[in-house]
Structure 1
Amino acid sequence: MKLSVVIPIYNEEENINPLYAELKGVLNNLEHEHEIVFVDDGSSDSSLVLLENIQAQDKNVVVVSFRRNFGQTAAMSAGFHYASGDVIATLDGDMQNDPHDLPMFLAKMAEGYDLVSGWRHKRQDPFLNRRLPSMIANKVISVVTGVHLHDYGCTLKTFNKEITQGINLYGEMHRFIPAIASGVGSKIAEVQANHRPRRFGASKYGISRTLRVVLDLMTVKFLLSYGTRPIHVFGMLGMASGGIGFIIALIMTIQRTFFGRPLADRPLLLLAVLLLFMGVQFISMGLLGELQVRTYHESQGKPIYVVRKVLGKREEIDHRS
């Protein structure tokens, strides 16, 4: 088995050399072949120079350099693309994740799990602006996605290679990888991980990311539940809205026709018309979404299912298909 360790780097010049030395010591004690994939996310300090120096001395190091800062999700995605290992591990570049936890994660993977996620049960971060928002976000994400983890934000994770190949990341969805992986049938475990205080540099995250988490969560929930059948969500909303509007309009029509009640001074008439138009718009959005889904899958030859494995002779399977 080959292990690839993916590490996003953004302005971490003081942490790079000690992180590499510590991680290399851990990897050299493992029985597995390994590589380290550093992804420089457009750093403005000397991070890239330090990474280039490390790569020149170690053939097991890969350095991917972005032209500008694209964010941690893009860095993770690039790391997955350039990693060649059968198992991929991710670490933060700030040394708060402990590389000595990797053997424990790999042992858990050996039990048959596709993804092992870390849980910073003794997190070394300020409570009000880091830990409290994270606790709230983790609870909300667990309830909405149905994948119950204590710590979605922990970068320390290990994956089977095929998991990362089947996941396309956009926006800031790297924290939702366990939920996305669960949506394709991956077996997930969570283990307690050591979390250390930051020694050098400053955190790149603020309280504003909580709002971005909420927006990305809406996207993930929609993709997991209705990614291949958007008409089911938009169609139901359209039928509900249009149905209510039709009933209101019907009642008002009966009142006007048989009881002579005027319509001009009744706001309900405007509400009925609005609900009817909204119903038409929702259903139209659902139909357009269905066309987009079919274009996405059929133009790229992407199936709407994920196969774990196939048993049987290859030529017999090809003949039957």
Structure 2
Amino acid sequence: MYLSVVVPVYNERDNLPLLYQAVVDALKPIEKPWELILVDDGSRDDSLPVLESLADSDPQRVRVIALRRNFGQTAAIAAGIDHATGAVVVLMDADLQNDPQDIPMMLEKLEQGYDVISGWRKNRQDTFITRTLPSNLANWLISKTTGVKLHDYGCTLKAYRREVITGFRLYGEMHRFIPVFANSVGARILEVPVNHHPRKFGKAKYGLERTFKVVLDLFTVQFLSRYANKPIYLFGGTGSVLILVSGLVLFYLFIRRIFFDVSVMNSPLFQISTMVAILGFQSILMGLIAELLARTYHESQGKPTYTVRKKINFTEDDHS
């Protein structure tokens, strides 16, 4: 299979027939086989019967996954990726705000040597205060923190080569961070402007509270992308700084004791510096334990600490 289009669905009954037809029309120029994977995320309307009807009408291309309850957009996307068979995976929303007509253009960009094509809703059709402004702030924060500079992390419409989105699991609201994970394995990322349409049916599923969840997930993403294979750098570095600060405070106290005859043991600074030193020592120990866990994780699964873009003059039996 060349292409898998994965669409998470939650209460989008009226949009689904139009979405299916829009995808079919957009992919007519694609001569290679493709599939449309629709993941029902515990919808409470009649979305699932509509999905079943679409699957019956086009059994060769439409596949439906029905989750037992509403697990969230990230879990639905993860389920779709897990069941996708295409070498290229395209993610998009079911609310018709993403335009399937952009997919062929994104596939052409992939053929130019990129691994991830990220959509940018340059002319976004959402309310500014409740949707666009928080999204812009989150995009700026994520770009600054991760170093992967994108204008629109929140745009679901993205195209990926399968090999750059395997090897990690998605939790929380982490689907928007997939480009960051892909970048950590050396993926070539290109951001392209895409169409964005006003919502025709239904209502938005997310509000301002989602921004706080994204910020919390950002801490996890930073740790996993930068320190998952070298946790001692984080814990050991923090511990070393704490011990250094404690040592400087103690040196200051003893200087005062020598030259000004000021008691050291009764000073609150002495007690604080002692606690800081203990915290620093514990942080280093946590780093060593994390190093053992990281090695156990990789070695127990035979999981390498590197990724290969391509091999030349190797056969499938060659492992060196």
Q: Tell me the TM-score normalised to structure 1 length.
A: 0.95
Q: State the AA in 2 paired with 1:136.
A: L
Residue aligning to 1:280: 281
Residue aligning to 2:269: 268
CA shift in 2, pair 1:264/1:167, >3 Å: closer
Shift of 1:312: 2.4
Q: Secondary structure at the match of 2:282?
A: helix
Distance in 1, Cα, partners of 2:303 & 2:42:
32
CA shift in 2, pair 1:316/1:129, >3 Å: closer
Residue aligning to 2:18: 18
Distance in 2, Cα, partners of 1:18 & 1:36:
14
Q: Which runs of 5+ in 1 are unaligned?
A: none
Q: Secondary structure at the match of 2:42?
A: coil
Deviations, residues 218-269 of structure 1 (Å, cap 9, x unaligned): 1111222111001011111101101111232243245446653123552212
Q: Secondary structure at the match of 2:38?
A: strand
Residue aligning to 1:74: 75
Q: Tell me whether 165-174 or 97-106 shows the greater mean CA deviation.
A: 165-174
Contact 1:96 1:196 in 2 (8 A): yes
Residue aligning to 2:97: 96
Deviations, residues 72-100 of structure 1 (Å, cap 9, x unaligned): 11111111111111111111011100111
Q: Post-superposition, which runs of at least 4 consecutive aligned residues in structure 1 deviate over 6 A? A: none
Q: State the AA in 1 paired with 2:287.
A: G
Residue aligning to 1:247: 248
Q: Secondary structure at the match of 1:159?
A: strand
Distance in 2, Cα, partners of 1:286 & 1:173:
25
How is 1:156-167 mapped onto 2 (pairs within 5 angstroms)?
A: 156-167=157-168
Instruction: Give aligned-pair identity as a percent.
Output: 50
Residue aligning to 2:44: 44
Q: State the AA in 2 paired with 1:126.
A: T
Distance in 1, Cα, partners of 2:316 & 2:115:
28
Q: Secondary structure at the match of 1:14?
A: coil
Q: State the AA in 2 paired with 1:35.
A: E
Q: State the AA in 2 paired with 1:7.
A: V
1:187 aligns with 2:188: yes
Distance in 2, Cα, partners of 1:315 & 1:71:
39
Q: Tell me whether 22-31 or 45-54 shows the greater mean CA deviation.
A: 22-31
CA shift in 2, pair 1:315/1:51, >3 Å: closer
1:153 aligns with 2:182: no
Q: Secondary structure at the match of 2:27?
A: helix
Residue aligning to 1:123: 124
Q: Tell me the TM-score normalised to structure 2 length.
A: 0.95
Distance in 1, Cα, partners of 2:146 & 2:192:
19
Distance in 2, Cα, partners of 1:313 & 1:286:
38
Distance in 1, Cα, partners of 2:309 & 2:32:
24
Distance in 1, Cα, partners of 2:218 & 2:286:
20
RMSD across aligned C-alpha pairs, in angstroms? Answer: 1.7
